[in-house]
Structure 1
Amino acid sequence: MIREDEPAIVFTNEDARRLHHLHDDAIVITLAIANYTTKRVLIDNGSVVDILYYLAFQQMRINNELLRPVSVLFIGFERMKVLLVSTISLPVLVGSYPWQTNKEVNFLVVDYSSSYNVIIRRPTLNNWRAAMSTFHLSIKFPTEYDIGEVQGDQLASRECYLVMLAMDE
């Protein structure tokens, strides 16, 4: 539901003050997924699926019986065929108290090597009613109390990028 009295989401120079500029870094954040602090979450508004990498799923110690098997092949990542392990719906908490929102996210769980633990897609960002700024490495979204924010981790973004380059070689 959209509230008419909802405050505007804006990004200011103050939001970018702590970053090293000029940059082309991806937005990499930390989320609470199923009460597990999950680092190295890539925000990809070009992606059409939310991905949870199997290794990260295992580290969450979630009961494997919650996984729903999938018998399709997923084509992604440089047109490589990736065998899907399954799908799972998990609660995702974005933001920090009290400026946070909690939503269920349906993930594809894939058994594929990545420097990221999770990829969050465009429809999930829309579900959060989030606005993002790649320049500010920031995501802002309305909450019950005001505008919540998750700041990207520039160092983690660069580390993930370098690991992905090394994996390509």
Structure 2
Amino acid sequence: MAWIDNPIIRFLEEDARCLHHPHDDALVASIRVRDYNTHWVLVDNGSSVDILHYPVFQQMRIEREWLVLTNSPLVGFGGTRIYPLSADTLPITVGDYSQQITKDVTFLVVDCSSAYIAILGQLTLNSWKAVTSTYHLMIKFSTEYGVEEVCGDQVAAHECYIAMLEMDDHLQTMSIEEQ
């Protein structure tokens, strides 16, 4: 099948049929980073960077020598500054087999507490030419074989929210699965 030029990406009410409404849940999805299935990934249109938390980097058994040092701070809500340990490019895959895309993503690796494994921001979403809908908790993007979608996980969004409320200064253990 040939590449479909300029596919129409749209969201229908039926795309949201399996969700509990009304909701104000974050768009939390699962993606594959390298050969690991990662859950609790926040898809954040408002983030200007892609972030991977250091405990995940460690669980993937990536050697510390791979860290590419950076000295530019991330500035968060309220002016909090976090200095990334590195900026590392890793392949990520989203979608199902016939309609998946794999792209290299440059993550800033940070060593701080978070309920999220990673944050996908504008850079990655734009490189996919992705369209997100927080109402539908879904990402849609075009592939060689048509429009693919990645559904957010409403249960995971609630778990992340609760984890963030209960979080203290200790890093929590994050879980990833090798595929």
- Asked if these proteins are the same fold (TM beyond 0.5), I'd say yes
- For the 8 Å contact 2:140–2:147, the answer to whether it is kept is yes
Corresponding residue number in structure 1 for 2:162: 162
**TM value normalised by structure 1:** 0.92
Give the gaps of 5 or more residues in structure 2: 170-179
Q: Output aligned runs, 1:50-61, within 5 Å.
A: 50-61=50-61
Deviation above 4 Å: which 4+ runs of structure 1? none
The one-letter amino acid paired with 1:29 is A
The one-letter amino acid paired with 1:48 is S
Task: Select between 46-55 and 8-17 the one with higher mean Cα deviation.
Answer: 8-17
Q: Quote how far apart the aligned CAs of 1:77 are.
A: 4.6
- For the 8 Å contact 2:9–2:141, the answer to whether it is kept is yes
2-side partners of 1:162 and 1:40: how far apart? 12
Q: Quote how far apart the aligned CAs of 1:14 are.
A: 1.7
Give the gaps of 5 or more residues in structure 1: none
Corresponding residue number in structure 1 for 2:45: 45
1-side partners of 2:71 and 2:123: how far apart? 23
Q: Output aligned runs, 1:105-144, within 5 Å.
A: 105-144=105-144
Distance change (3 Å), C-alpha of 1:36 and 1:90: same
Distance change (3 Å), C-alpha of 1:71 and 1:7: closer
- For the 8 Å contact 2:42–2:116, the answer to whether it is kept is yes
Q: Deviations over 1:148-167 (max 9, x none)?
A: 11000000001101211223
- For the 8 Å contact 2:95–2:149, the answer to whether it is kept is yes
**TM value normalised by structure 2:** 0.87
Q: Output aligned runs, 1:62-101, within 5 Å.
A: 62-101=62-101
Q: Quote how far apart the aligned CAs of 1:5 are.
A: 3.4
Q: Deviations over 1:7-52 (max 9, x none)?
A: 3111112211110000010100000011111111000000111000
Distance change (3 Å), C-alpha of 1:5 and 1:69: closer
Q: Percent identity?
A: 51
1-side partners of 2:136 and 2:81: how far apart? 34
Q: Deviations over 1:122-162 (max 9, x none)?
A: 12101001011111100000001111110000000011012
Q: How many residue pairs were aligned?
A: 167
